[in-house]
Amino acid sequence: MNHHRKPIIAANWKMFKTVPEARETAVQLKVLLDGGPALHSREVVVCPPFTALAAVKEALSGSGIQLGGQNLHWEDEGAFTGEISAGMLLDCGCRYVLLGHSERRQFFFETDEAVSRKLRAVLSTPLIPVLCVGESLAQREGGRMEAVIEAQLAGALAGVEASRLDRLVVAYEPVWAIGTGKTATPAIADQVHGMIREWLARRCSADMAAAVRILYGGSVKPANAGELMARENIDGALVGGASLDADSFARIVEFK
């Protein structure tokens, strides 16, 4: 963490929680974090399933905790059964949206081209994109980590002018660390974050790269959040499993 960059701690609830469950967790989170120092020095974001956005929005109102979507479609509207647009997320009170999460890439065949279309759609709205990148175990072991991540970044940012990327947030999520209990060591994560920052400096500008928040995701827990966040290039966390429980997510938000 660098003190010029405000950390973002984001919860990805994936396909978990009914509306009453989501509401209850959001209320607990608000109570746990309310009035504490963390909400002044960190941005906290909750990304529930679409069905719970309205209830979570209401439960979090006045708390300063932000809402995010987990995915979106690049068109404004149309005959795209099952999809949801940037405008609809804004309508529900979202400020952030995840793009290209590895589960979207792996299970729903989302390509870099699709991620790029989504990014361009998001940048034409006030939503803040959280672009997820990360290599699989086979790619890492095959020595292709850097090439894979650079291709994901280049693919997503294709055709986007550097001047439009000042809002970009990147999440580095090594696929081998998601939901597996295996966390990248702080040193490994920091090294990859540094590489991403250097790539952005070349692609955009040194100023943009110095300001961009790069979150780490992959089995972040209350016990390891502090040591990860202590690293220079780690500017927050994207948390899956450990964000489902309000107490555990609040302890991550309050990392020391």
Q: Is 198 a catalytic residue?
A: no
Of the candidates 43, 103, 110, 173, the residue annotated as catalytic is 173
Which span sits near ligand PEP by CB under 6 A: 80-88, 117-125, 202-210, 232-240?
232-240
Range list of β-strands (E), 91-244:
94-99, 128-133, 169-172, 213-217, 236-239
Of 61, 47, 138, 40, whose CA–CA distance to 98 is shortest? 47
Residue 100 binds to ligand PEP (criterion: CB under 6 A): no
Q: Could you tell me the smallest distance in angstroms from the CB atom of residue 205 to ligand PEP?
A: 28
Residue 97: name the closest of 58, 64, 124 by CA: 124
User: Minimal CA–CA distance to 116: which of 99, 101, 128?
Assistant: 99
User: What are the CA-CA distances from residue 101 to residues 14, 23, 130, 134, 206 (Å)?
Assistant: 10, 24, 9, 9, 26
Q: Which of 128, 240, 252, 254 binds ligand PEP (CB under 6 A)?
A: 240
**Closest CB to ligand PEP: residue number:** 240
Query: 107 or 109: whose CB is closer to ligand PEP?
Result: 107
Query: Is 254 assigned a catalytic role?
Result: no
Q: At what angle do helices 222-229 and 246-253 cross, to 10 degrees?
A: 20
Neighbours of 37 (CB within 10 A): 9
Residues numbered 11 to 50 that lie near ligand PEP (CB under 6 A) are 12
Please select the residue that binds ligand PEP; options are 218, 222, 236, 252, rule is CB under 6 A. Answer: 218
Among positions 239, 246, 252, 253, the unique one binding ligand PEP when judged by CB under 6 A: 239
User: Exposure of 108 by Cβ count < 10 A (0-12 exposed, 13-18 middle, 19+ buried)?
Assistant: exposed
Q: Does 7 bind ligand PEP (CB under 6 A)?
A: no
Residue 43 or 173 with smaller CB distance to ligand PEP: 173
Stretch that binds ligand PEP, among 135-143, 157-165, 189-197, 239-247 (CB under 6 A): 239-247
The residue ranges that bind ligand PEP (CB under 6 A) are 12, 173, 178-179, 217-220, 238-242
